A and B are shown apart, each in its own frame.
Chain A
Amino acid sequence: MKKLLSILAVSVFALSANAGTLDDVKNRGFLKCGVTTGLAGFAAPDDSGNWTGLDVDVCRAVAAAVFGDSSKVEFTTTTGKSRFPTLASGEIDVLARNTTWTFSRDVNLGFEFVGVNFYDGQGFMVPSSLGVTSATELDGATVCIQTGTTTELNLADFFRLNEISYEALPIETNDEARENLFAGRCDVFTTDASGLSSTRAQSDNPAKWIVLPEIISKEPLGPLVRHGDHQWGDVVRWSMNSMIIAEELGVDSSNVDAMKSSNVPEILRLVGVEGAYGEMLELSNDFAYNIISQVGNYSESYERNVGPDTPLAIGRGNNALWNQGGILYAPPFR
């Protein structure tokens, strides 16, 4: 009886969750992607209801790679708390939700981070009227934080290390935390520096807020998939890497067609003229061409969503390519 049951259990779950996410996605006809409930620049619906953002572009790149059509994505919003169960249960295929890559999430929670699409660090934002210029002057302040994040743990560590007291106010979503900050329920808002820029851009008068200079943690943000399905992990990893490699090679959405007759071997491999790299992933050979022509390279995505010309106005900093002063580095396409 017990044997029968376990066979039954195995067969039911072997069918549903882990095996062949790529096949599931292909059969379904669209990609299911988990994003934030709305963080401008990373994932937020625009005026006409289309999702845009740096994380959204990762999802669109994967859709372009699998289907040759970047619009075949269904977005699911997740909170800091619901994101992991949503991914683990198979409701989404990939989670691109400015999620920090940490040891315990990678190992203990059973996920696989496929890379980093934004190097971030935790910072503090205060009203400029407070006259505070450094986070070490925040003794006794009330701090709003989004709960269920690495932020919460870094915050406690930082204040403990500097031996200053504070009062934490953990809040469920970024939006609610923002409302609490704007209403003056707390003095300080802390999250990843990119999130602070995003929050500041959403206030009535961005000049009323300043971001303090301290960056108190490493926050490598990246997309992740379920542990164990390596083929699918490879698809997402190389969809993202292709965008970074394209920037490095100077290939963008405007010149990608012309690049098909380039004389640089790596470009020819990237756009699918030489070699059969797509086939190794069980995709078409021009998967990277589709990504670049429909979504663009990493630089285009960055400038469009979070770059200096957007309301967020975040310079490239660490997110510049490795040969341009940053740490963005993708393994070679060969």
Chain B
Amino acid sequence: MRSNLNFFSDQKFRSLFYQILVVGLFAFGLYYLMTTTAYNLEKRNIATGWRFLSNPAGFDISFSPFLDYKATDTHLKVYFVGLLNTLLISFCGCIAATILGFIVGVMRLSSNWLLSKTAYCYVEFCRNIPLILQIILWYTILLQMPLIKQSKEIGKGFFVTNRGLYSPRPIYEEGFGIVFVVFILTVIASFFIRRWSKKRQETTGQQFPVLWTSLSLIVFLPLIVFFISGSPMSLGYPALKGFNFKGGMVIRPEFIAMFLALSIYTGAFISETVRSGILSVTKGQREASGALGLKPNWIMRLIVIPQALRVIVPPLTSQYLNLTKNSSLGIVVGYADLVHGFGGISLNQTGQAIECMVIVMATYLTISLIISLFMNIYNRSIQFKEK
């Protein structure tokens, strides 16, 4: 008894004891959950396992831009269709939210009263209304667009309807491959130009207009090749046949509603992050660079933004993660993402709730970790490099 007490008054032992206790309790809780779940599933004769993944799904999916999906395909394919749709909306949403966030963040700091107040209203309005309501709002607005039979043509081959925006579709013909190869080559070339000009500036101090040179290379060279090789591409125009348009490309209202809502909502948060980042760069830095004779947009680009990014990037990462996870709300408007297709319809048709949910959760976790990984690598590359 006495020796026991002594043991417990030892700080090292005590902290070890409590840590083991906590870990032990957690492990017990996990074990308990798993065994009771398995027990109950067995008791209710609910089949478990992963076999259902290779069974035919039997239902159709409204939106599969990357994979050719048919009702006879398997549940596993439903998973991939959903995954790609989730990645698509997250990717588009993150890009648009970032652009919007940077513009609005800078606008809010503008000395122009109207600009800064507009930005202020946007931020306060959009980040204080639940996202799900914004999604439904956008979708309802889109459903009020013209009916398919009364669609308006805006520009040749572009139609606005409540079933989506229709546009002409490029049809690649033989020989287009060369144009594509030239395009890739110009992109690679512009990287080399950038490296060369940087080196030249470091040694001679002379500047080279990298942006304009690269842009004109990337745009004009493939265009010239395109016309020389006899325009090996034509456009397929959408035309009303029967119930729907056929022949063109279409962006569905479900996608547009999700895209608008996600990017506008997250953009509001990002703009605040950007504002805090810019404000974190002391006024002295700007004044000093002004005194050195730098132009205002150079001050922003070369002095302020690089330092602001150090503050912006970590919270920006969590906004990207939020946007990706929020894309699962697509279910309210029937956007065929991972949760709607695999975590919803497949789950419901097979009854394999636990299996489907485990897969969906593991997938979101993986996507989030990958985003974090890349953002952390980027973050490290822009941090102060102490020499």
Q: What is the interface of chain A, defined by CB distance below 8 A to chain B?
A: 5-6, 8-10, 12-13, 17-18, 80-81, 84-85, 88, 104-105, 107-110, 130, 138-142, 147-148, 152-153, 155-157, 160, 166-172, 176, 179-180, 183-185, 187, 226-228
Task: Choose among A17, A80, A110 the residue with the greatest number of B CB atoms under 10 Å from its CB.
Answer: A110
Q: How many interface contacts (CB-CB < 8 Å) are there between A and B? A: 124
Chain B: which residue is nearest A9 at the CB level? B36
| Size of interface on B: residues with Cβ below 8 Å to A | 42
- Give every chain A residue within 8 A of B60 (Cβ-Cβ): 152, 155-156, 166-168
Q: Establish whether residues A84 and B351, one from each chain, have CB atoms under 8 Å apart when the complex forms.
A: yes
A185 touches B345 (CB 8 A): no
Q: Which of B314-357 touch A at CB < 8 Å?
A: 331-332, 334, 336, 340, 344-345, 347-349, 351, 353
Q: Tell me which residues across on chain A come within 8 A of B331, comparing CB atoms.
A: 172
Bound Cα distance A292, B240 (Å)? 57
- Find residues 72-121 in chain B having any chain A CB closer than 8 Å to their own CB: 72
Nearest-neighbor residue (CB-CB) of A17 within chain B:
B40
**B378 interface residue, CB < 8 Å from A?**
no
Contacts of A108 on B, CB cut-off 8 Å?
45-47, 351
Task: In the complex, identify which listed stretch (B143-151, B197-205, B289-297, B379-387) lies at the interface while the others stay far away.
Answer: B143-151
Chain B's closest residue to A169 (CB) is B62
Instruction: Please tell me if the beta carbons of B47 and A185 are within 8 angstroms of each other in the complex.
Output: no
Verify A167–B43 contact, CB threshold 8 A. no
A15 CA to B94 CA, complexed, in Å: 49
Identify which of B227-235, B242-250, B304-312 touches chain A: B242-250
| Contact between chains at B59 and A170 (CB < 8 Å) | yes
A100 to chain B, nearest CB (A): 12
Residue of A at shortest CB range from B254?
A: A169
A167 to B62, CA, bound (A): 6
> Is A147 within 8 A of B243, CB to CB?
no
B32 at the interface (CB under 8 A from A): yes
24 example contacts (A-B, Cβ-Cβ < 8 A) are as follows A6-B39, A8-B32, A9-B35, A12-B36, A13-B39, A81-B348, A88-B46, A104-B351, A110-B45, A139-B242, A142-B244, A147-B348, A148-B344, A152-B349, A153-B59, A153-B349, A156-B59, A157-B58, A160-B72, A170-B336, A170-B340, A183-B144, A184-B148, A185-B162
Contact B35 A226 (CB under 8 A): no
Question: B212-226 vs A: 1/0 string, CB under 8 Å?
Answer: 000000000000000
Q: Tell me which of B32, B253, B332 contacts A172 (CB under 8 A).
A: B332
- Residues in B19-62 with C-beta less than 8 Å from chain A: 31-32, 35-36, 39-40, 43-47, 58-62
Using A152-B345, A183-B144 as known contacts, say yes or no to A168 and B39 having CB atoms under 8 A apart.
Answer: no
Are A147 and B147 in touch, CB under 8 angstroms?
no
B58 and A153 contacting across the interface, CB-CB below 8 Å: yes
Which one of A105, A130, A156, A228 contacts B44 once the chains associate, using CB atoms below 8 Å? A228
Check B195 for interface membership: any CB of A closer than 8 A.
Answer: no
Residues in A neighbouring B243, C-beta threshold 8 A? 130, 138-142, 187
Whether a CB of chain A sits under 8 angstroms from the CB of B275 is no
Q: How far is the CB of A98 from chain B (nearest CB, A)?
A: 16
With an 8 A cutoff between CB atoms, is B71 at the interface?
yes
Q: Verify A152–B59 contact, CB threshold 8 A.
A: yes
Report chain B residues within 8 Å CB of A171: 334
**Would B246 and A18 count as touching, CB distance under 8 A?**
no
Chain A residues lying within 8 Å of B162, measured Cβ to Cβ, are 183-185
Select which of B43, B46, B147, B246 is within 8 A of A109 by beta carbon. Answer: B46
Closest to B45 in A: A110
Across the interface, B31 reaches (CB within 8 A) one of A5, A168, A170, namely A5
Please, how many angstroms separate the alpha-carbon atoms of A183 and B143 in the complex?
A: 6
Least CB distance, B65 to chain A, in whole angstroms: 13
Contacts of B246 in A (CB 8 A): 140
| Nearest CB on A from B323, distance (A) | 22
On whether the beta carbons of B348 and A88 are closer than 8 Å, the reply is no
Q: Indicate if the CB atoms of B45 and A148 lie closer than 8 Å.
A: no
